[in-house]
Amino acid sequence: MKIKMKYKLSFSEADKLIERYYEGLTTGVEEKRLMDFLSQSNLPDRFKPEQAIFGYFNQKKQKPHFSVRSYISWISAAAVILSVVFGLQFLEAGNRGDYAYIDGKRITDIREVKSQALASLSDIDSGTNEVEESFKNLNNKDLIKDQLNVFSGL
């Protein structure tokens, strides 16, 4: 017993439907049958142009799938990352301030820092030029020999 498929077309029936299609006489059901027939593989080469036409229309009908759930997951991940970054900056901003370390102690009072800086500037001897003395030591051959002996271990 043979079972005949509902949408199966013979080549001659397909040729007749294609001719009716080009004349604009096919119904929606006939075009669906023709599309199902032309979507098969292993058809003769004479059906290749119609396969290309119906394949193009088939691709046009397929709309891109838009998923709100995927966008929500990406947006929530970005929100978490931004929250962490801004939260860390907010916490760090509370610890900032003007301070200086003087003799190993952290001093946050700006007036005391300024007074200590001015006092250290006044301690520098303005009468001696340290740069000139350093250059003189560079030309001191005895000093250079002593330093080389210290580093060479002699």
Domain ranges, ordered by start, for the chain: 11-61, 79-123
- Show the CA angle centred on residue 147, arms to residues 142 and 152, nearest 5°: 125
The answer to whether 37 touches 9, Cβ cutoff 8 Å, is: yes
Compute the Cα dihedral for 96, 100, 104, 106 and give only its sign: negative
Averaged pLDDT of the chain: 76
Span 93-152, pLDDT tens digits = 665 666 778 888 888 888 888 888 787 777 666 556 776 777 777 777 777 788 788 777
Mean pLDDT value across residues 39-53: 82
Strand ranges in the chain using DSSP code E only, listed in sequence order: 100-102, 105-107
pLDDT for position 124: 64
Mean pLDDT value across residues 79-104: 78
Is 0.75 surpassed by the pTM of this model? no
Report the distance separating Cα 37 and Cα 57, nearest Å.
Answer: 14
* Higher-scoring residue by pLDDT: 3, 103: 103
